Amino acid sequence: MERRATMPGVSLLRSVQSRVSSLRDALNDEQGFRGEGSCGDGRPRPSKRSEAPQALFHCANEVRVILSVVVIAHNEEANIGRTLASVRPLVADGKGEIIVVDSGSTDRTVEIAKSLGAKVFVEEWKGYAAQKNSAIEKATGDWILSLDADEEADEQLVQEISWLLDAIPTWQKEGMPVDNDLRSKELRDRGLEIGLDEDDLNGFFIPRKNYFLERWIRHGGFWPDSKLRFFRREAGKFQDQAVHETVKIQGTRSAVPHGALIHHSYPTLADYIDHMNRYSSLGAEMAAAKGRRGFSLFNIVVRPLATFICNYFFRLGFLDGREGLLLHLYHAVYVSWKYAKAWELARKMESS
């Protein structure tokens, strides 16, 4: 049988292919294609080499959820769209998520939230703190940004939080930047100012602009009104109390130096009166639980008057014009309502 001669170039090509194949096999073994190791999200690497390309592509394109924006809502169709739209840049490209826990809205709140990409959970009302903790439990991000449904993040705050989400991992991984290029210098100077050199930095206060009758209230104790709303998921939890719930953080706290939350709290007097009526009832429950149950002229008359004088005159509330006058006047009424309702509640408990 006639034997065909092999061209020299073909022999060389076969030799190179053989060497490349051997090298690829060795590298695959070292990188764990025998089932050792895992993807960035904890899934095991493929045990078969044929499965490797697809799995590696999935691992490489998996985006880790860094931030979870959590919101509780009930009949907030007038506000929820503005709130969620303000934080969409922070959760874009899969690097974040929006969690909304709704307590049975009868308007378009749920529809609007879903249209803006939120994960919506409908649950019975359990109280402010419990509802917010339920939203946190559903989150998967490393960091939490907790918002009320009538709040929004201004552009400067969005930029600041975005910078922090990039800077914090860099400090944790590499320590304080020592190079003198512009990026390293900014990262070092701003990081030291904020406190990124603290090993247990777990939470940040954010200033809040409160609007009353569409006017930003800058005096009388209503600005900067800083709230602890940006914190590590594993380190923060809302304290169980009926009203004015706050986050308790394990570790060091700092403050976001730029930007603010915009609180569209009371666009009308009716909104404010309804809110104060509801909050005074919850505050009365807390006051009664602390033993403040008697009919006290001091708490019902003197304390509200002192509150008005302090906020309106000494804390310069009068500089906010007619809106400031109405706000501080009705806030004093709220204080009176709270202690009067505590007395009423105690009387009902004693007679039952």
Contact 67, 142 (CB under 8 A): yes
Give residue-wise pLDDT tens across range 93-137: 999 999 999 999 999 999 999 999 999 999 999 999 999 999 999
Q: Which uninterrupted H or E stretch holds 96?
A: strand 96-102
What's the whole-number mean pLDDT along residues 215-224? 97
Q: Over the range 127-143, which residues count as b (16 or more CB within 10 Å of their CB) and which as e? A: ebbebbbbbbebbebbb
**What does the alpha-carbon distance between residue 67 and residue 161 come to, in Å, rounded to a whole number?**
10
Q: Would you say 184 and 253 are in contact if contact means Cβ atoms under 8 Å apart?
A: no
Residue length of the chain: 352
On average, the pLDDT of the chain sits at 85
Tell me 38's DSSP state. B
The C-alpha atoms of residue 278 and residue 171 are separated, in whole angstroms, by 45
Q: How far is CA 15 from the centre of its chain?
A: 59
The C-alpha atoms of residue 150 and residue 136 are separated, in whole angstroms, by 18
Residue entry with tokens 């095991």 = 44
Where are the alpha helices (H) located in 92-230, listed in sequence order?
109-115, 128-138, 155-174, 182-194
Which tops the pLDDT comparison, 142 or 346? Answer: 142
Give per-residue pLDDT as tens, 150-172.
999 999 999 999 999 999 998 98
261-266 sheet: strands from edge to edge:
151-153, 261-266, 208-212, 215-216
Residue ranges covered by each domain of the chain? 67-265, 268-351
Q: Can you tell me which residue has the tokens 């910078």? A: 163
Q: Is the peptide bond before 304 cis (omega within 30 degrees of 0)?
A: no
What pLDDT sits at residue 76?
97
Q: Please name the residue that has the structure tokens 């709704």.
A: 102
Q: What's the rounded mean pLDDT across residues 3-21?
A: 45
Does the predicted model carry a pTM greater than 0.75? yes
What are the residues whose beta carbons fall under 8 Å from the beta carbon of 317, sequence distance 6 or more? 219, 220, 221, 311, 324, 325, 327, 328
Q: Residue 81 is inside which H or E element, if any?
A: helix 80-91
Token pair recorded at residue 312: 């309106």
Residue 173, both tokens: 């991984």
C-alpha Rg value of the chain to the nearest Å: 29
Alpha helices (H) in 195-265, listed in sequence order:
none
Long-range pairs of 38-47 with CB within 8 A, sequence gap ≥ 24:
40/64
Instruction: Give the pLDDT of residue 102.
Output: 98
In angstroms, rounded to a whole number, what is the distance separating the alpha carbons of residues 329 and 126? 31
Those residues whose C-beta lies under 8 Å from the C-beta of residue 131, and which sit 6 or more positions away, are 72, 101, 103, 123, 125
Say what the pLDDT of residue 21 is: 52
Q: Which of 326, 338, 349 is nearest to 301 (CA)?
A: 338
CATH domain 67-265 topology: Spore Coat Polysaccharide Biosynthesis Protein SpsA; Chain A (3.90.550)
Average pLDDT over residues 323-338: 96
